[in-house]
Amino acid sequence: MNNSQQRIFEIRRMEFSDLKDVLRLEKEIFSDAWNEAMFSEEITKHDAFVLYSGNEIVGYICGWLLYEEYNITNVAIDPEFQKMGLGTKLVKFVIEYVAEKKCPIIFLEVRESNYAAINLYEKNGFSIVGKRKKYYKNPEEDALLMVLSVKETNER
Ligand SMILES: CC(C)(COP(=O)(O)OP(=O)(O)OC[C@H]1O[C@@H](n2cnc3c(N)ncnc32)[C@H](O)[C@@H]1OP(=O)(O)O)[C@@H](O)C(=O)NCCC(=O)NCCS
């Protein structure tokens, strides 16, 4: 029981002091979990945001801005808090952030079997535009490449 209805969820930049909680969630959620060095690099060189409630980290999203393209590299919600709209909150936050940077396009890769994530992205305007063969290890799997035109989103 997490009393989610009464809780306020907010988003801020990930800090090094969040890494213990983030790594615990990452290991719980992913079979090919990121390690501390990977999150540290996102914090120092790219973008990493956490979704939190009080002093509890309940999700995170990471991404890279490279020239005219943004790439969402990681997103996860604590299993206890999934299916409450929080993944949507994080993805919408990043879409707005990217729009503010005047970057026109967002790419991401997702495991072909990850229906929850594919649905989440499609609901937020992303389309499948390609496949990357054997992109993932542990277990090996193809990635779907998804894209969102941020300009179109703004013009809607
Ligand atoms: C993918 C993930 C981030 C979604 O977060 P979430 O907070 O549960 O998502 P939301 O509640 O905002 O759901 C948004 C939409 O996603 C889809 N969705 C979410 N969970 C789903 C599930 N278990 N099965 C099918 N569709 C699902 C639905 O279309 C949902 O819309 P709806 O509630 O109107 O049906 C979450 O399931 C997660 O952390 N999964 C493990 C990590 C992961 O796979 N990350 C993505 C790597 S590319």
How many angstroms does the Cα of residue 82 sit away from the middle of ligand 1? 7
**CATH code, domain with 102:** 3.40.630.30
* Pocket flag, ligand 1, residue 91 (CB < 6 Å): no
Grade residue 152 by pLDDT with cuts at 50, 70 and 90.
low
Q: What would the two tokens of residue 87 be?
A: 């993944």
61-78 pLDDT per residue, tens = 999 999 899 999 999 999
Q: What is the mean pLDDT of residues 128-141?
A: 96
The closest alpha carbon to 65, from 48, 46, 49, belongs to 46
Q: What is the mean pLDDT of residues 81-93?
A: 98
Q: Does pLDDT of 115 surpass 70? A: yes
What is the pLDDT, as a whole number, of residue 6?
79
Pocket test for ligand 1, best of 119, 124, 141, 144 (most atoms within 8 A of CB): 119
Residues near 22 by Cβ (< 8 Å), separated by ≥ 6? 14, 39, 50, 57, 60
Which residue range(s) make up the domain with 131? 4-155
* Pocket flag, ligand 1, residue 105 (CB < 6 Å): no
* Pocket flag, ligand 1, residue 117 (CB < 6 Å): yes
Q: What is the DSSP string of 29-55?
A: H-TT---HHHHHHHHHHSEEEEEEETT
Q: Does pLDDT of 38 surpass 90? A: yes
Pocket test for ligand 1, best of 24, 25, 26, 77 (most atoms within 8 A of CB): 77
Task: Return the residue whose CA atom lies nearest to atom 43 of ligand 1.
Answer: 76
Q: Does pLDDT of 5 surpass 80? A: no
Residues near 149 by Cβ (< 8 Å), separated by ≥ 6? 104, 105
| Distance, CA of 139 to CA of 142 (rounded, Å) | 10
Domain count, the chain: 1
Q: Does pLDDT of 155 surpass 70? A: no
pTM tops 0.75, yes or no: yes
Q: Does pLDDT of 154 surpass 90? A: no
